[in-house]
Amino acid sequence: MIDLKFLRENPDVVKQNIKNKFQDSKLPLVDEVIELDKQYRAFKQEADTLRADRNKLSKQIGALMAQGKRDEANEVKAQVSAAATRLNELEGLEEEYAEKIKKIMMVIPNIIDPSVPIGKDDSENVEVQRYGEPAVPDFEIPYHTEIMEKLSGIDLDSARKVAGNGFYYLMGDIARLHSAIISYARDFMIDRGFTYCVPPFMIRSEVVTGVMSFAEMEAMMYKIEGEDLYLIGTSEHSMIGKFIDTIIPEENLPQTLTSYSPCFRKEKGAHGIEERGVYRIHQFEKQEMIVVCKPEQSPMWFDKLWQNTVDLFRTLDIPVRTLECCSGDLADLKVKSIDVEAWSPRQKKYFEVGSCSNLGDAQARRLKIRVNAKDGKYFAHTLNNTVVAPPRMLIAFLENNMNEDGSINIPKVLQPYMGGKTIIK
């Protein structure tokens, strides 16, 4: 959510930003919120005047009563009573217009960074850099669930009976590999100075609307029936929510946390849910990283975060590349975003395994995450990035570490988490 004062003073900048995101239907909202804000401030000014007059008149009443001028005091009381009726009306209008303004401001997209490429959708994202040499072996690599099934590592049929499409049972060494990757990612981030955290897996609606747009919420979140609780779609939601309505001493920044959680997603949209795959599913686990920092430090932390993911994948012998997300592919709260994609030897192309985002002060403004500095308070900047998210990451791992006989090599860094195993047969 952008600053209302900024919108009021820079409406053309806000409108151009909306155009850059190819959301022209939202252009009228800028003028609408400016007009609502004008009326709101007029109501507030009148109300403030009435409150000030009421205080003066109340003092007059006391003075007149002390002088025995009861009739004159009663006349002033009548003025106070009449003003009170108007004041109640104005306070109601203040509340009504403040809510209207907030509702519109929650829909207007955040101002994107000038470096973001302009494009309509993810097809216009821009490759930044490749890490590692993508290779295609001279033997055929099966579909990822076939690899898992041959290793007795997955049971989709039973999961379908129990929960439907988009769920799975991981078994044996594949299940162990899944947990090993999560544990390795946890320790990898701890070694880089991040504090480990296991957050709540459900959050209240005020946190949901603080960390994402309404459109994202509708497409992703599962609501707990009869309660003001939602299952998290990623631990970032719960981790940023940890700082709701707080004032952080500036000397305590940055806050750098890495978290483990299950994630639950509706996955509505064009991609749908694969019947035989585990790329897009309703339930998965993830290691995440978040940063709460000073505004001037967020570009530096943004680069550090996505580099962490690149480094982790390279220690697992998986080639990756980074993609700069274009304006039309950015969610409304994001200032800038980079996707990390892993190489798929089977598909002979890269696919997304993580996303790093700088949200500026948008989440902090919604959640009232403030920083206490010597010269006053300001809103913090928040960032998040995927460390690793199996089982999607397992697809890249299995394909890039597979031998011709169907066995899977285990890189040295993972072997301690696999009981010393060097290969899965």
pLDDT of residue 270: 41
Give me the mean pLDDT over the 99-120 stretch. 95
Give me the mean pLDDT over the 150-159 stretch. 95
In this structure, is residue 112 part of a structural domain? no
Q: Which residues pair with residue 264 across a beta bridge?
A: 283
Q: List the CATH number of the domain containing 207.
A: 3.30.930.10
Q: List the CATH number of the domain containing 38.
A: 1.10.287.40
Lowest mean per-residue pLDDT among 173-177, 209-213, 370-374: 209-213
84 and 130 fall within a common domain: no
Residue 331 to residue 359: CA distance in whole angstroms: 10
190 and 308 fall within a common domain: yes
- Does the pLDDT of residue 73 top 80, yes or no? no
Three-state SS for the chain is CCCHHHHHHCHHHHHHHHHHCCCHHHHHHHHHHHHHHHHHHHHHHHHHHHHHHHHHHHHHHHHHHHCCCHHHHHHHHHHHHHHHHHHHHHHHHHHHHHHHHHHHHCCCCCCCCCCCCCCCCHHHCEEEEEECCCCCCCCCCCCHHHHHHHCCCEEHHHHHHHCCCCCCEECHHHHHHHHHHHHHHHHHHHHCCCEEECCCCEECHHHHHHHCCHHHHHHHCEECCCCCCEECCCHHHHHHHCCCCEEEEHHHCCEEEEEEEEEECCCCCCCCCCCCCCCCCCEEEEEEEEEEECHHHHHHHHHHHHHHHHHHHHHCCCCEEEEECCHHHCCCCCCEEEEEEEEECCCCEEEEEEEEEECCCHHHHHHCEEEEECCEEEECEEEEEEEECCCHHHHHHHHHCECCCCCEECCHHHHHHHCCCCEEC
Lowest mean per-residue pLDDT among 7-11, 88-92, 222-226, 322-326: 88-92
Give me the mean pLDDT over the 156-179 stretch. 94
Q: What is the pTM of this model?
A: 0.89
pLDDT band for 57, please (50, 70, 90 cuts).
Answer: low
- For 315-360, the pLDDT digits (tens) are 999 999 999 999 999 999 999 999 999 999 999 999 999 999 999 9
- Does the pLDDT of residue 76 top 80, yes or no? no
Q: How many domains does the chain have?
A: 2
In this structure, is residue 114 part of a structural domain? no
336 and 362 fall within a common domain: yes
- For 6-48, the pLDDT digits (tens) are 999 999 999 999 999 999 999 999 999 999 999 999 999 988 8
Lowest mean per-residue pLDDT among 39-48, 211-220, 263-272: 263-272
Last residue of a domain, which of 80, 105, 130? 105
Q: Between residues 404 and 269, which one has the greater pLDDT?
A: 404
244 and 315 fall within a common domain: yes
Give me the mean pLDDT over the 405-410 stretch. 96
Domain that holds residue 377: 122-424
165 and 231 fall within a common domain: yes
pLDDT of residue 364: 97
279 and 417 fall within a common domain: yes
pLDDT band for 62, please (50, 70, 90 cuts).
Answer: low
pLDDT of residue 277: 82
276 and 406 fall within a common domain: yes
158 and 91 fall within a common domain: no
pLDDT of residue 58: 67
In this structure, is residue 182 part of a structural domain? yes
14 and 142 fall within a common domain: no
- Does the pLDDT of residue 179 top 80, yes or no? yes
pLDDT of residue 61: 65
pLDDT of residue 59: 67
Lowest mean per-residue pLDDT among 48-62, 98-112, 247-261, 326-340: 48-62
213 and 361 fall within a common domain: yes
Give me the mean pLDDT over the 118-145 stretch. 95
47 and 157 fall within a common domain: no
In this structure, is residue 408 part of a structural domain? yes
pLDDT band for 82, please (50, 70, 90 cuts).
Answer: low
pLDDT band for 134, please (50, 70, 90 cuts).
Answer: very high
Span between the terminal Cα atoms of the chain, in Å: 51
- Does the pLDDT of residue 274 top 60, yes or no? no
Give me the mean pLDDT over the 356-379 stretch. 96
280 and 373 fall within a common domain: yes
Lowest mean per-residue pLDDT among 55-69, 120-134, 229-243, 277-291: 55-69
Closest CA to 324 of 132, 124, 134: 124
Q: Between residues 62 and 345, which one has the greater pLDDT?
A: 345
